[in-house]
């Protein structure tokens, strides 16, 4: 534990990509396989299992230290992280409070320099398995043996909140430098999870491709970059002619890979979750694919006779379901909208140009036997390619996205290989402009992490008539929450304003004078019984602070409802703002 904590501290004090990679490479190369495997598991953010809740750790700290809850809460408000707050407080009061001699710890506290794998496999799970005072004494015994970064790291590992800001790309660079393997190969080997064992560590760094194409792992996903249009409206947005690019709709579903290998069918999400139980019809589809096939595409709800896919809210009803019933399967039928073929007959097609992979995908769909009782391939659809006569038609095509149920356009170089991660220059996404409404700030709450002492989480409202009556009194109804979009200068200025214009407090939340107006941008709206406004807002964020606009002139709930009613067939100008109400 001590050596791992020292690594985290060194990374925290090291700036620059090359320097961080060098630190990681030296540390991982010097450690035994058992400890290196666990360190990798943690560095990749895989340690998400919560052994003891942060609330329970807080309780244990308060009981021993004799601190009032308000003092702990004030300290947390400055720090923004429970594990770090406890570590800082315990250094001040833990030694003085001590551990009662009459109540020896129920588990032996190991030395801080005990191997990391001993802590992860024996010590921490052993403490988590205790209950009541026995658990409290064990936690305090561990705290009493640790100092500095060791204490913070242990708290984070116990609470499952281990995040240290080391990007996976840096870890891959370090592993590549150690092993001499390609980053893409290492990324593939890590897809679908990493079991922190010496055998898994050795397999990760083993030379050669091995038998990986036959495993259950998905490939690392290739991601698109936002298209940046040139300042000159007459200039081409991308190099070459439109014939050099494959243009498709950008669909609003969840990215996935459908795999058929070694007689097994698998559906992986981009978040590296195996989602077979939620989509039995797609697993049945995979069962009919030739062995050694991997499709990349979008999981989306699309009824058989519908001209366009259902909104994302319909897909949300399917996500996380272990065994969706016949009613849900009938109301929200899923399809796999394929747009790439990554593996065919066990051969990795990713190095081939997109135009060849697309031709192979179309051939595969034609040859696929129809589902039982169906006249086609059933839930397998191909994302259609779109034609342009010239770049001057691009914007008009983008504006047609919403009527077909898409978010915008994808532009992919026809000669591009299928790479890993976000590599600029090959794939671009050109999304529609978001919806926009002006809303009034109603509530504010402090953020977390480095902004724990600033109010950065906001709740906004729209004007409505009391009881929905035309002659009812105007009131503000909560509409959306947002916490991104302001720069540091604006956040600091708004924080000062919130502190001096607070009208009520509800725990950590402050109600403020309804005076500040902000333009909110968002991707879509859905009717919702769970929200007071009757509307759920998708991906809301702040686009600008309207200091030029009085609160009385903010938008109304009627404006939002008009957008909700118009959304399915909307083909309005790019900012899609209704007339003021």
The residues pairing with 520 across neighbouring beta strands, listed in sequence order, are 437, 542
Task: Kindly tell me if the per-residue pLDDT of 469 is higher than 70.
Answer: no
The whole-number pLDDT of residue 103 equals 47
Residues 112 and 1 sit within 8 Å (Cβ to Cβ): yes
pLDDT > 70 fraction of the chain, expressed in percent and rounded: 88
Strand partners, 203: none
DSSP bridge partners of 460? 441, 480
Closest CA to 257 of 285, 291, 221: 221
Given this model, what pLDDT does residue 336 score?
A: 97
Angle of helix 198-205 versus helix 183-190 axis, rounded to 10: 150
pLDDT of 467 strictly over 60: no
Highest mean pLDDT among 86-95, 311-320, 412-421: 412-421
User: pLDDT tens, 69-101?
Assistant: 888 887 887 777 888 888 888 877 765 555 444
278-309: b (≥16 Cβ within 10 Å) or e: bbeebbebbebbeebbbbbbbbbbbeeeeeeb
Listed in sequence order, the residues at least 6 apart from 241 whose beta carbon sits closer than 8 Å to its beta carbon are none
The tokens for 328 are: 């849900």
Domain ranges of the chain: 48-159, 223-228+238-431, 435-569
Which residue bears the tokens 């690594």? 7
Average pLDDT score over residue span 341-351? 95
Q: How large is the average pLDDT for residues 273-296? A: 93
Is residue 48's pLDDT more than 70?
no
Task: Give the global pTM.
Answer: 0.73
Those residues with Cβ within 8 angstroms of residue 547's Cβ, 6 or more apart along the chain or in another chain: 516, 517
pLDDT at 47 (0 to 100): 57
Residue 364 binned pLDDT confidence (cut-offs 50, 70, 90) = very high
- Integer-rounded Cα Rg, in Å, for the chain is 27
Lowest average pLDDT, out of 2-6, 99-103, 109-113, 502-506, goes to 99-103
Choose the weakest-confidence range: 227-236, 261-270, 322-331. 227-236
Encoding tokens for residue 422? 């976000």
The first and second tokens of residue 351, run together, are 């190095």
Q: What is the mean pLDDT of residues 279-303?
A: 95
Whole-angstrom distance, CA of residue 164 vs CA of residue 44: 10
Average pLDDT over residues 322-343: 94
Retrieve residue 424's tokens.
């600029």
530 compared with 255, residue with greater pLDDT? 255
- Residue range 43-49: average pLDDT? 71
For the stretch 206-249, pLDDT in tens is 886 555 555 778 999 999 999 988 888 778 999 889 999 999 99
Min mean pLDDT across 268-282, 366-380, 412-426, 438-452 is at 366-380
Mean pLDDT of 548-560: 93
Q: Given this model, what pLDDT does residue 64 score?
A: 78
Q: What is the mean pLDDT of residues 137-149?
A: 86
278 pLDDT more than 50: yes
Q: Which residues pair with 439 in a beta bridge?
A: 518
Averaged pLDDT of the chain: 86
Name the pLDDT band for 524 (thresholds 50, 70, 90): confident
Lowest mean pLDDT among 78-82, 101-105, 133-137, 329-333: 101-105
Q: How many CA atoms lie within 13 A of 499 on its CB side?
A: 11
Contact, 246 vs 426, CB < 8 A?
Answer: no
> What average pLDDT score do residues 264-280 get?
91
Residue 544 has pLDDT above 80, yes or no: yes
Asked whether residue 566 carries a pLDDT value surpassing 70, the answer given is: no
In CATH, the architecture of 223-228+238-431 is 2-Layer Sandwich (3.30)
What local confidence, expressed as pLDDT, does residue 169 receive? 80
Answer whether 528's CB lies under 8 Å from 543's CB.
Answer: no
Q: 355 and 416 in contact (C-beta within 8 Å)?
A: no
How many residues does this entry show for the chain? 581
Q: Which pLDDT band, with edges at 50, 70 and 90, does 105 fall under? A: low
Q: In CATH terms, is domain 435-569 a member of 2.40.50.140?
A: yes
Distance of CA 173 to the CA centre of its chain: 22
Please write down the long-range contacts of 354-358, taking CB distance under 8 Å and 24 or more positions apart: 354/246, 354/412, 354/413, 354/414, 354/415, 354/416, 354/417, 354/418, 355/246, 355/414, 355/415, 357/418, 358/246, 358/385
pLDDT band for position 523 (50/70/90)? confident
Dihedrals φ, ψ of 545, to 5°?
-90, 115
Taking only the tens place, the pLDDT of each residue in 21-33 is 999 999 999 999 9
Per-residue pLDDT, 471: 62
Higher-scoring residue by pLDDT: 370, 295:
295
- φ, ψ of residue 38 to 5 degrees: the values are -70, -40
Banded model confidence at residue 571, pLDDT cuts 50, 70, 90: very low
Q: CA 7, CA 9: separation in Å to the nearest integer?
A: 5
Cα separation, 306 vs 27, whole angstroms: 56
When pLDDT is cut at 50, 70 and 90, the band that residue 338 belongs to is: very high
């Amino acid at each position: 534990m001590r050596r791992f904590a020292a690594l985290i501290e060194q990374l925290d004090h090291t700036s620059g990509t090359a320097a961080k990679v060098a630190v990681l490479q030296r540390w991982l190369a010097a450690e035994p396989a058992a400890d290196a495997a666990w360190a990798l598991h943690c560095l990749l953010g895989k340690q998400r299992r919560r052994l003891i809740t942060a609330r329970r750790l807080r309780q244990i700290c308060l009981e021993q230290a004799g601190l009032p809850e308000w003092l702990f809460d004030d300290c947390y408000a400055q720090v923004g992280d429970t594990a770090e707050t406890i570590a800082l407080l315990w250094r001040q009061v833990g030694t003085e409070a001590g551990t009662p001699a009459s109540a020896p710890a129920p588990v032996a506290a190991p030395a801080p320099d005990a191997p990391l794998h001993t802590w992860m496999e024996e010590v921490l799970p052993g403490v988590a398995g205790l209950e009541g005072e026995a658990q409290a004494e064990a936690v305090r015994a561990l705290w009493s043996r640790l100092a500095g970064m060791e204490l913070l790291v242990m708290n984070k590992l116990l609470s499952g909140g281990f995040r240290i800001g080391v990007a996976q790309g840096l870890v891959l660079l370090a592993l590549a430098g150690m092993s001499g393997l390609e980053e893409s190969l290492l990324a593939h080997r890590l897809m679908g999870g990493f079991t922190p064992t010496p055998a898994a560590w050795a397999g990760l760094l083993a030379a050669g491709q091995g038998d990986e194409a036959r495993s259950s792992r998905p490939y690392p996903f290739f991601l698109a970059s936002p298209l940046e249009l040139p300042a000159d409206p007459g200039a081409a947005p991308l190099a070459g002619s439109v014939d050099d690019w494959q243009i498709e709709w950008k669909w609003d579903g969840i990215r996935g890979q459908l795999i058929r290998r070694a007689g097994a069918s698998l559906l992986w999400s981009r978040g590296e979750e195996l989602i077979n139980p939620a989509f039995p019809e797609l697993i049945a589809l995979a069962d009919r694919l030739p062995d050694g096939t991997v499709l990349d595409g979008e999981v989306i709800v699309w009824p058989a006779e519908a001209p366009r896919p259902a909104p994302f809210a319909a897909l949300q009803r399917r996500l996380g379901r272990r065994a969706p019933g016949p009613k849900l399967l009938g109301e929200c039928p899923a399809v796999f909208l394929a747009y790439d073929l990554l593996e065919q007959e066990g051969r990795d097609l990713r190095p081939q140009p997109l135009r060849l992979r697309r031709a192979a995908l179309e051939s595969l769909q034609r040859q696929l036997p129809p589902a039982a009782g169906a006249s086609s391939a059933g839930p397998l659809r191909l994302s259609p390619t779109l034609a342009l006569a010239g770049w001057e038609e691009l914007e008009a095509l983008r504006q047609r996205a919403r009527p077909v149920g898409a978010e915008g356009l994808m532009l992919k170089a026809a000669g591009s290989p299928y790479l890993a991660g976000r590599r600029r220059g090959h794939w671009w996404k050109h999304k529609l402009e978001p919806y926009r409404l002006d809303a009034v700030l109603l509530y504010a709450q402090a953020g977390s992490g480095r902004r724990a002492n600033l109010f950065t989480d906001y709740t906004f409202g729209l004007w409505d008539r009391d009881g929905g009556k035309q002659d009812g009194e105007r009131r503000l109804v909560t509409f959306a929450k947002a916490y991104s979009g302001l720069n540091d200068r604006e956040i600091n200025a708004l924080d000062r304003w919130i502190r001096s214009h607070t009208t009520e407090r509800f725990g950590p939340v402050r109600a403020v004078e309804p005076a500040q107006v902000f333009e909110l941008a968002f991707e879509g709206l859905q009717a919702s019984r769970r929200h007071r406004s009757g509307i759920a807002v998708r991906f809301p964020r702040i686009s600008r602070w309207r200091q030029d606009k009085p609160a009385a002139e903010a938008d109304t709930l009627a404006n939002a409802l008009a957008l909700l009613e118009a959304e399915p067939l909307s083909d309005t100008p790019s900012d899609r703002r209704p007339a003021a109400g």
